[in-house]
Each structure stands twice: as structure tokens, then as C-alpha cells.
Structure 1
């Protein structure tokens, strides 16, 4: 008999177990079932019941006990028919309004290409850690890099965490998953000789000052292409980095170049070396000549680095010009982004502290900067040890 509460009605979490046999396609199937009271309708007072089934009476009894505890503790959630795919659609539409367009596009890509095909049909509240772990393992087995798997996990985890926040889930089943180890690629910054060679190679090049400013400020490619004259303060010797040029989808689904806020939406002001400010002045003078030659055809974008008609430069144009230069130098594997790494390493070797380098690069934390460029500090420790060794020899007379 179901247990009663003080009102005489069946208590929440109570129920009875019965054995049932059904026939399908001429075959008989036997199972055990319990109807458990999980609450009462606030208007009619009628019992709200849920069905529990299992292969054995013992299995159903165990499920009943677990449900009774959840009901008593107020943590019970009724099963939902919503699938993960349906929840992801809701999440993308209603919960990512403050996310940058490029980030949203990345989320949509990971969901479309990886998450939805394998996990989309699964009911949201039946998604388990093991199912997600198996999904991640299958991505690795199919040839996806550990970094990509980590990105997929980040999107899925964020979506499920929002489901937890609004009580669609009691916990995030992706929390306990184990991700493949991401091996950090070895950085290949230009050394002092290569930097000297690069500076010689770009002399007279149409993008000479763009390359030099990038190399000695550590700006990202999108940031240097989005830099405006109003953000260059020659009087105080500072540059404000607040936006970047990116290729994004418009509302019609077509890609076009747009100016967006910098990564993490955190503006940063840097104080470049006087050499850098001098190159910017030369760039301004060169641009003034282009303006006179272009006449009415000049496009007044306010950008620091433009084509000869004042329009923004194409990233792929800068990339191809850069690759030709470094290939001629005998460094075909060098990427444009390695100019940023070269600046960071040169700054640290020159004596800048990690916090300063972090601020100039626009990293979110100094620990991230230290993690990326830790090998440089290791080298500096060795050099410090050698200097101390020489000092000891000098003071000890050995």
C-alpha cells in the first residue's frame, strides 16, 4: 500500500510496484512498473504521478527509493521531452545576445558540424557524462585535433551550464569528461639576426611601416588593420587599440569585412618605442601624398594603414606579401602572427616584466602570458645564473 501523509492522501514519493505483461507483434514481454506520486495539482488537488519501469522488481524498487529522496528534498525534476538539439536552438537564439558576431559564428559552426549530428536527437535530461565522453573520443578517433575537441567541449559545456542555471538540468554532465591533451605548438619568433634581416627586407616595401609597427607593438593583424589616426596620440606617444578588422557573415549569410571591438572587448593603450611613433609619422606623410594623387577618388576611412585610395587593406593581401618576404629570407614557415610572438619575446628579453607584456599584448591574464612565453623566462633564469656565477667569482677572487 502507498504511504499516506497527514491529509490522508498518498504521500509524495510513494507508489506501488506491479508486474506487467504486454504483447507486441505476437511476442509477450514482461516487465515491472511503479506509479509514483511526485506531487499534487495545486488547483484540483489530484495526484501527479510518474511511471518507473525496469526488468526486475528490485530495479524498480531502487528507482522508487531514489525518486522518493529527490521528492522529499525538493530536487526532483519531471522528465522533459526536449532534445539537446532543441535546447541548443533556444540557447543560440535567446542566451547569446552579448556574444561577439565572430564568437557566435564559431558556436554555430561547432554545433552544426559536430554536436548536433551525434548528440542532437538525445533528450536533454537523459544526456550522460559517458555519452558525451564517447562523443569526444569519437571526434578524436575521426582525426580532429585535441584543440578542436576542446573547442567543441567549450561550446557544449557552456550550453549545458545555461540549462543548469535555469533548472532544465540538475548538473552539467560534461563537467566530469576527460579531454585529450593539447600539446602547445612550439613558438617560432624571429631571433635578433632574423629581425635585423627582416627590417632590411621590408625597406621600401609598400607595407613597410605596417610590418614594422606590427613587429614592434605586438598588435594582432586585425588590430593593426583596424587602427585609426584618432587613436594615435603623437603628443603623448601612445596608441589606443580598440577595434579590429574581421571577415564576418552579414544578415544574408554573406561574408564581408567589418570592424569589431578587440578580443575580450578590452581596449588597451600602449606606449610604443619612439621608433614606432616615427614610422607612424612617415606613414601619415605617405598617406597624405596618396590623398593628393587620388583627389576626389580618395576614401576618407580614417585608417592608419590603407590602400592608395584610402580604403582598408585586405588581410590576405598583407599575408601574401609577408609570406613572399620571409620565404625570400629562407623562413617559409614563419607566419604573420609570429611577428606578435617576436615582439613578446624581445620585450621580455629586454627587461619588461610579464604584467607589462600582458597589457601590451592584450592578454586576459599575466598567467596566460607567462604560460605562453615561459620558455623565455627559463632562458633568462639560466642567463641570470651565469651572471651570478661571474659575480661570485669576482667577489671571491676565484
Structure 2
């Protein structure tokens, strides 16, 4: 079995002789779409080897978009909520808009390079570009291992430089605008709790009405809902915590419970009462993916209109902490609300806020001593 390179117009193709048909006519397999001869020559040995050992599988007809969406479903069970959220964001916001329409079998290194250039033109940070590239790289590695593609084209590319880790969060105005846009959503209370308590998404989805104490204006974090729809206890005793609620949040919780009781009445015997704060209209737990769909539906128009910064849903937790620290709330209180192992963890994670607090403290002591 041998192969060679053939030029077609201004493109190059790999042509491999794979035997003869019943009439003695030579059969060939073509792998086209190469923009230059060098890239085709690099791929030729690998393709011939796969054909010879019988491990070659016909190229999939799926587009990059279709493949990535299926790949995300496969990876969902073994990724944390935070990581899965990040993967979805990179795929939907950065990868698919650029190369999603290309058939996976036709994807070439130049397409990925073009995507990287487009992301740079959007003034995305080095960190954001690196994240998008890393997700695509992981997906194509899976495609190669499962024989969906003959060659992993990202192996030919240099990894983009990784910038310093950034903390993404909204300003008070952005948070208010988001809640205003979300006010008519069934999941409004989820987003309100995320911003007003700093709880993790899984912790909010795991809340039961028995954890809410409106008369004391507190809630008790005792469990979280995983992506596999299992309830689990916090990893540490610090994770189990009480969080004090403001009057507005208590009012929203009461209104939400009234609405939930109406759903229960309408559903009748079909209602599955799990005593959950966040539940479907039939009382069942709400999955992370359903929340993410609502999140993207609300946030994407706001980002496109440049009314809010693009952040992850998990960053609502960071927004809560940043707003509290900026308002002068003691770091120990913030740490307790977030369920951090120590105050040092809080100070390290939110070090971008503390310089401003230090300056404010210096100004205050200065005014006292004048």
C-alpha cells in the first residue's frame, strides 16, 4: 500500500492506493483540503499506516459543532460543575462561532490558527485564548483516539502563551442588570441566591425548604447536587455552614415557595415532592445543564450588547465576595459565607480587592488622626 501527494487547483490531497476492485480497477482513497504540500506530506505516513493495520475509519460527516456538542455530553459525567461550565462557555462562545460549520474530517491546522487570530482581534486575554485552545485540543485528542479523525492537527501547532490567572466578576451595576433581565425566569431564585449568598451552583440546587429559616433569616448548607443528579455532603465540616440572608432575599424565597405550591396544585398526583427549593414544575431536581441553558440565554444578549462582561455562571460567587469585600465586610465573615477552609484562602483568592480596602483603611486612620 502506497500513497502520494497530488495537487488540485490551489489545494493538495493525499492519495492512497488501497487495492483493486472486482473488475481489476485500482481503488484509491483521497484526503483533500491541504493548503500546502508540506502539511500533506507530514500526514501521509500516518494515514498509510492506519490503512495498512486496518485501524482507519471513514471520516465522520459530522461538523466540528456537532462533534463538540456530543463530546461535551460524553465528558459531562467526569468533569466538575465548574470545569464543565468552562468547557461549554469556550465551545459555545469561541470555538463554534469560528470553526463550527467545518466538517470535522476537513478541519486543518490553518483553521485553528485562523480561529486563534479571530480571538486575538476580539481583544480576548491570553488566558481566555489559551482556555479555548486547550478545550479544542482535548476534544480533538478524543476524536483522534476514537478514530474519528486520521490525524490530530493540533499536534502541529504551538500552544498559545498562557496569561496570568484572572478573576472575573461583575460590578454592582452589572449584577443588578442581570437580575432585572432574569426576574421573569423560573430559575430567578437560583441566580438571586448565587449573588446574594455566594453559594456554589450545586449547593443551591441541593437546598431543601427545611434548610431555610425565614424567621431567623438564615439558610443551612448541608448538601449539593452533582451533575450526575446525586446529592452529596460537603467535603469538610466548614462546607456545612449557616448563611445569613437579607430581607429582600427572604421575600423572594417566600414568593418562590408560593409559586412552587401553585405548581404542585396544578400537577396533582404527578408532582414528586422532594422538598427542594429549586425544582421543576413536577417537583424533580433541576440539573446543572438546565440552569446553564437559562444562564446562556440571559447573558449572551447582554454580552453582545456590551452591557455586562462575559463571565462564567460560577463567577456569580466571585461577584458576591468581591462586592462584600469592597463594601468593607470583614474577610472572616466573607470566608464563612463562602465556606472557605480559612480566611487566608479568601484573602489569596480575592487579593485583587484587598489593595483598595487597604487604601480606604489608611484614609480612615488618617482622617481620625488629623
Length-normalised TM-score, structure 1: 0.49
Q: CA deviation at 1:372?
A: 0.4
Asked whether the equivalents of residues 234 and 277 of structure 1 are also in contact (C-alpha less than 8 Å), the reply is: yes
Higher relative contact order (CA 8 A, sep 6+): 2
Pairing 1:380–2:352 present? no
Q: Retained in 2: the 8 A contact 1:323–1:335?
A: no
| Alignment check: 8 A CA contact 2:328 2:357 kept | no
Which of 223, 232, 236 is equivalent to 1:260?
232
Distance in 2 separating the partners of 1:277 and 1:375: 31
Pair 1:274-2:274 in alignment: no
Distance 1:384 1:282, change over 3 A: same
Q: Distance in 2 between matches of 1:350 and 1:261?
A: 31
CA distance in 1, matches of 2:283, 2:134: 42
Aligned with residue 370 of structure 1, among 347, 352, 368: 347
- Structure of larger gyration radius: 1
Q: Which residue number corresponds to residue 178 of structure 2?
A: 198
What is the rounded CA distance, in whole Å, between the counterparts of 2:245 and 2:341 in structure 1? 20
Cα offset, 1:299, TM superposition: 0.4
CA distance in 2, matches of 1:293, 1:366: 47
Match of 1:283 among 256, 259, 264: 256
Alpha-carbon spacing, 1:350–1:263, altered in 2? closer, same or farther (3 Å) = farther
Q: How far off is 1:334 after superposition?
A: 1.1
Counterpart residue number, 1:150: none
Distance 2:343 2:366 in 1: 30
Given the alignment, which residue of 285, 303, 313 partners 2:276? Answer: 303
The offset of 1:367, in angstroms, is: 0.4
Tell me the CA shift for residue 389 of structure 1. Answer: 5.7
Q: Cα deviation per residue 1:362-383 (whole Å; 9 max; x = unaligned)?
A: 1111100110011111112223
Q: Which residue of 1 aligns with 2:294?
A: 321
1:228-254 CA distances to partner (integer Å, 9 max, x unpaired)?
A: 00111112111000100013xxxxxxx
**Take 1:192 and 1:335, find their aligned partners in 2: how far apart are those partners?**
16
Structure 1 vs Structure 2 CA RMSD: 2.7
What do residues 48-107 of structure 1 show as CA deviations (whole Å, max 9, x unaligned)?
xxxxxxxxxxxxxxxxxxxxxxxxxxxxxxxxxxxxxxxxxxxxxxxxxxxxxxxxx89x
- 2:361, 2:332 → 1: CA distance? 20
8 Å CA contact 1:213, 1:279 repeated in 2 = no
Gaps of 5+ in 1: 1-104, 107-142, 146-181, 248-255
Matching of residues 53-92 of structure 1 within 5 Å:
none
Tell me if the contact between 2:257 and 2:277 (Cα under 8 Å) persists in the aligned partners.
yes
What is the CA distance between 1:264 and its match in structure 2? 2.4
Q: Contact 1:189 / 1:342 at 8 angstroms: preserved in 2?
A: yes
In structure 2, which of residues 215, 219, 223 is the aligned counterpart of residue 243 of structure 1? 223
Count of aligned residue pairs for this structure pair: 212
Q: Which residue of 2 aligns with 1:359?
A: 336
2: CA distance, partners of 1:366 / 1:207: 31
Unaligned runs of 5+ in 2: 1-77, 80-132, 136-161
| 1:206-217 mapped onto 2 (5 Å cutoff) | 206-217=186-197
SS at match of 2:347: helix
For the residue of structure 2 that corresponds to 1:239, the secondary structure is strand
- SS in structure 1 of the partner of residue 290 of structure 2: helix
Could you tell me how far apart the structure 2 residues matched to 1:239 and 1:355 are? Answer: 18
The structure with the greater share of residues assigned to helix is 2
Q: Is the 8 A contact 2:224 2:231 kept in 1?
A: yes
CA distance in 2, matches of 1:209, 1:144: 34
SS in 2 for 1:257: coil
